[in-house]
Amino acid sequence: MKKAIQKAATSLALILIVAMGVRATFAWDQAQKIPPGVLGIVPFQQETGNIAAALARGAGFSDVFRTNTGPTAWLAPVYPLLVAAAFKVFGTFTARSFFACVTLNILFSSAACVPLFYAGKRIGGLGVASGAAWLWAIFPNAILMPFEWIWDTALSALLAATLLWATLELMESERARDWCGYGMLWGLALMTNPALGALLPFLVGWAAWLGRGESKSRWKRAGLAAGVAILCCVPWTIRNYAEFHRLIPLRSNLPFELWLGNNDIFDPHARNGRMSITRTEEARTYTQMGETAYMQEKWALATTFMESHLGLEMQLTGKKFAEFWMGTESPIKSFRETDSWLIRGILLADFLTGIGALLGIVALWAGQKQITQRRGVHGDSADAEKHGAEETARSPVFPLALFPVVFPCLYYVTHADLRYRHPIDPIVLLLTAIAVAKACSKVKTRAPVREQ
């Protein structure tokens, strides 16, 4: 019985079934509470739905505010194209299209268990692998997001987990084909969620530095991967230049996002400042100015505000940090005031996994430090120092720490939301599983040995 339970607990197939089951059950339960007419319209009332509708009717990648405003580069193209395909098959703004998109999101979210499992197995063994995959299978945010957001969120989580796994595996390969495949994976990630590009130079550089073969060959392979990734984006960049007559490698909306989190609304002493930002007003301004002029204005407004409100910017950064990791800038207040146990559960899960990620990084770093110290005690000092440095570099702590440390920085500057954290949640849960495994091993070590 014990072996059967252990086999079931470490079964990737069972984890996948549970992950899909709980996501599908939540989606079905929520859908019963919402009229089909609402499901076909409201979830698509955002940039992805608007662009997808334009694509479906043959207007091209355009009309970001659902009015005839012409071409746009507001979003990267992959996910709007998927939604447009659903519109073509199941009808534009229909409940059937919504369920098709939700099904895709559920599949993407559940599939993230696979790279997460194998990355965890490589780093910490079967226990860490199954623990991380189980955490992702039942993680509240991962259950909610596929239904709540018709966006690239679930697909981005799958891509982030796959990038980590591929980076760890690539260290053992000297084949150009593998590095080309790695570059294509990066190309897909960039064309889905450009924010993941912040990790590219670090992960590719780490894999090249520690890979097999001579140094020159390793860096050539890294250049090959980076070149393939860039080539994947070139057609889209050319399209953007042809439409806007300026270089837009991936997407154009950074000035808007920057302004959204840094404007006079946040300044209590501002004169003639607006008390709110409305979609209708922004759509009108965008239509009048066009995308290029609109983004230029937002960039000027945001940077001017940031330069003239340095003290306030520090406060805003702290609030964005809290909102990125907890979904609200006042998590304690929100936890106490809400009447929903679901929201409380989400806040608690986000807090615990955020702390778990930090402890996981510390556990990996401390474990590698102990290995280095033991080498120094038992081996030749020069050789021990050399091997210790190599082992420290090969430790997965660096690529794992990149996700929670580097990826959020963009959102600390622009504006934050719990949805923006979701792409790195699989790695956050992997780090949490590592921390739990480390704590369990210490408890077993300290437990008194029973007398025979």
Q: 278 with 367, same domain?
A: yes
Does any domain span residue 448?
no
Lowest mean pLDDT among 65-69, 88-92, 201-205: 65-69
Please give the pLDDT value at position 389: 46
Same domain for 275 and 365? yes
Through-space distance between the first and last CA atoms of the chain, rounded to whole angstroms:
25
How sure is the predictor about 288, in pLDDT bands with cuts at 50, 70 and 90? very high
> Quick one: 338 and 202 in the same domain?
no
* pLDDT value, residue 355: 96
- Predicted confidence (pLDDT) at residue 11 exceeds the cutoff of 60: yes
Q: How would DSSP label each residue in 203-222?
A: HHHHHHHHSSS-HHHHHHHH
Q: What is the DSSP letter of 450?
A: P
Q: Are residues 191 and 261 in the same domain?
A: no
Mean pLDDT of 321-350: 91
Among 195, 219, 252, identify where a domain stops.
Answer: 252
Residues 228, 321, single domain; the answer is no
- Tell me the sheet residues that pair with 62: 71
Q: How far apart are CA 433 and CA 424, in angstroms?
A: 14
Q: How far apart are CA 107 and CA 88, in angstroms?
A: 20
Using the predicted structure, report yes or no on whether residue 357 has a pLDDT greater than 70: yes
Question: pLDDT at position 47, please?
Answer: 95
Is position 220 within any domain? Answer: yes
pTM of this prediction? 0.92
Looking at the structure, tell me whether residues 241 and 258 fall in a common domain.
Answer: no
Average pLDDT over residues 117-143: 95
User: Would you say residue 307 lies in a domain?
Assistant: yes
* Residue 26 in domain: yes
Rounded to whole angstroms, the Cα distance separating 115 from 107 reads 14
Q: Which residue has the tokens 């984890």?
A: 15
Question: How far is C-alpha 87 from the geometric centre of its chain's CA atoms?
Answer: 26
Residues 276, 222 share a domain: no
Average pLDDT of span 175-184: 94
The pLDDT value given to residue 156: 98
| Residue that is last in its domain, among 129, 150, 171 | 150
Selection from 74, 50, 55, 59 nearest residue 248 by Cα = 74
Does residue 421 sit within a domain? yes
Which among 234, 76, 95 has a CA at the least distance from the CA of 155?
Answer: 76
Q: For the ranges 58-72, 273-287, 288-302, which has the lowest average pLDDT?
A: 273-287
* Residues across the chain: 452
> How far is Cα 400 from Cα 200, in angstroms, rounded to an integer?
13
How far, in Å, CA of 223 to CA of 72, rounded? Answer: 31
Check residue 375 and give its pLDDT.
54
Please check whether residues 398 and 291 belong to one and the same domain. yes
- Using CA atoms, how far apart are residues 365 and 286, in angstroms rounded to an integer? 49
Whether residues 128 and 179 fall in one domain: no
| Contact predicate 236/229, CB 8 Å | no
Residue-wise pLDDT tens digits, 365-394? 887 766 555 555 555 554 444 444 445 446
| Model pLDDT for residues 134-160, shown as the tens digit of each residue | 999 999 999 999 999 999 999 999 999
Beta bridge partners of 71: 62
325, 320, 331: which is closest to 411 by C-alpha?
A: 320
pLDDT of residue 267: 84
In terms of domains, do 129 and 180 share one? no
145 domain-assigned: yes
Query: Is the pLDDT reported for residue 259 higher than 80?
Result: yes
Total domain count for the chain? 3
The H or E element spanning position 376 is: helix 341-378
Average pLDDT score, the chain:
90
Q: What residues contact 214, with CB distance under 8 A and at least 6 apart?
A: none
Whether 446 is in a domain gets the answer no
Query: What gap in Å lies between CA 167 and CA 221, rounded to an integer?
Result: 13
Domain of 60, in residue numbers: 1-150
Interacting residues of 258 by C-beta distance below 8 A, sequence separation 6+: 298, 299, 302, 303, 413, 414
| pLDDT tens digit sequence for 415-443 | 998 899 999 999 999 999 999 999 988 77
| Domain boundary pick from 117, 134, 150 | 150
- Is there a single domain that holds both residue 243 and residue 182? yes
Between helices 126-138 and 425-446, what is the axis angle to 10°? 130
Looking at the domain assignment, is residue 450 inside a domain?
no
Task: Tell me: do 307 and 347 sit in the same domain.
Answer: yes
CB 72 within 8 A of CB 60: no
Report d(CA 425, CA 135) in Å as an integer. Answer: 10
